[in-house]
Structure 1
Amino acid sequence: CLTSDFFIEEADEWRPEVWRMIKERSDCHFFIITKRINRFLHCIPDDWNDGYDNVSIACTIEDQTQAKLRLPLFNQYPIKHKIIICEPLLEKINLTNYLNDSIIEILVGGESGPNARICDYEWVLDLKSQAESFKIDFTFKQTGANFIKNNKNYKIERRNQLEQAKKANINHRYKEAAYRNKETL
């Protein structure tokens, strides 16, 4: 049920039941990924307070315009575990105005598919540097299908994109997040 954007309007009717199940399963950690962070306050349960211990909310952005629109809202909301996902990463993004102690991770990935737009490794490294400056965990998830590194354009098949990102060996952790020790749903 969480493979789509959990905050879509079409989910308003059944979302309370999902929140009930999430609260009951405190032994599992749930990731809710959204580009609709503007709907957050409308979509959380009455007992949310500052968030559930077993829920991470990830706000997705793909470019600087979306960062400026979504991240100020994201930062003001009561969420215990905040993740910024830059995927598909479509341009160099400056996150420094939005990074603080409440952000636990930045996750980055290029776009997949036959018409994938470019993801430049320099943009990835820049985000890694920003994460390091704030001691925020960083994960380079996937290269995308149209990847530039050292001014060379690589066409990478879907099945190899995660492996190639892992081979870059640039992920880092500053803290052991509680959710990494739980079953993740």
Structure 2
Amino acid sequence: MGDRSAIEWTEATWNPTTGCDRITPGCDNCYALVLARRLKAMGTAKYQNDGDTRTSGPGFGLTLHPGVLGVPFSWKAPRMVFVNSMSDLFHAKVPMAFVEQVFQVIAETPQHTYQLLTKRARRLRRLAGRLDWPPNLWMGVSVESEDQLDRIDDLRQVPAAVRFLSCEPLLGPLSDLDLQGIGWVIAGGESGPNHRPLKEEWVTEVRDICREADVPFFFKQWGGRTPKAGGRELAGETWSEMPVGLQPSMV
């Protein structure tokens, strides 16, 4: 959780839960798992729960943190908030009652805009009708390759104010990408010592599909050994489009 964030498309992070489990190839080099291992070694209290070694790792066991639910109330200035940068709120181990508490905090702090991202699109769809969706909540799913395109169909059934896609790390072409009902697309490459390559034609194809559908496109990074190693320019331009004209002040 941070009052400020280095993530280009948001301004702050808020982690009511931490920890997760790898479920698709997009999770193979998870930045949050690596960071959790480091935070556990530093003695950070929120990262002392170890996950299943087959799918998670040290400090990355799914953990609820009810004590941080009130944090957004302390932020006086409006900000863009990425919910659960270190977890997935729709993980099977997160009780419905806790998801409802997170949504209630979002509804009671309308000065902020919240961005919630999941890879568990099926559970998201199943729970969506039981949740009250505040107008300041954007809901997204990760789509790293064509194998995850079905997540978009689940997202389309969610009554969020903005539905968005995170195509990061983009691991292959998305030629069959259908943006009906989608209000924003983020794309980017992987970073870290084991990063997988990102081809320019994959990114430009996603950008062109967005332009044809009149959907805002945000290119976060090329990636590399570090997140900023390859920069952000695509064909000589920086793409930082946001829904309804909104743009984080830190971009």
TM bucket normalised to smaller? 0.7 to 0.9
Deviations 1:8-49 (A, max 9, x none): 12222522221111110111111101111111144447452x
CA pair 5-25 structure 1, distance change in 2 beyond 3 A: same
Which has a greater percent of strand? 1
RMSD of Structure 2 on Structure 1 (CA): 2.4
Distance 1:108 1:170 in 2: 12
- Structure possessing the higher relative contact order (Cα contacts under 8 Å, 6 or more residues apart): 1
- Alignment match, 1:99: 179
Contact 2:140 2:155 in 1 (8 A): no
Distance 2:146 2:122 in 1: 17
Q: How does 1:1-185 map to 2 (within 5 A)?
A: 1=15, 2-3=84-85, 4-12=87-95, 13-44=97-128, 46=130, 48=132, 51-67=133-149, 69-96=150-177, 98-100=178-180, 102-145=181-224, 156-161=225-230, 164-166=231-233, 168-171=236-239, 173=241, 176-177=244-245, 180=247
Distance 1:159 1:171 in 2: 15
Which has a greater percent of helix? 1
Structure 2 gaps of 5+ residues are 1-14, 16-83
Structure 1 gaps of 5+ residues are 146-155
AA aligned to 1:14 is F
Q: Runs in 1 of length 4+ with deviation above 6 angstroms?
A: none
AA aligned to 1:141 is K
AA aligned to 1:122 is E
SS of the residue 2:93 aligns to = helix
How high is the sequence identity, in percent, across the aligned residues?
A: 24
Aligned length: 164
CA pair 174-81 structure 1, distance change in 2 beyond 3 A: closer
Contact 2:221 2:228 in 1 (8 A): no
Contact 1:16 1:45 in 2 (8 A): no
Deviations 1:43-94 (A, max 9, x none): 447452xx32100011101100111x21121123322201111011001112
Q: TM-score, normalised by structure 2?
A: 0.59
**1:160 Cα deviation (Å)?**
2.9
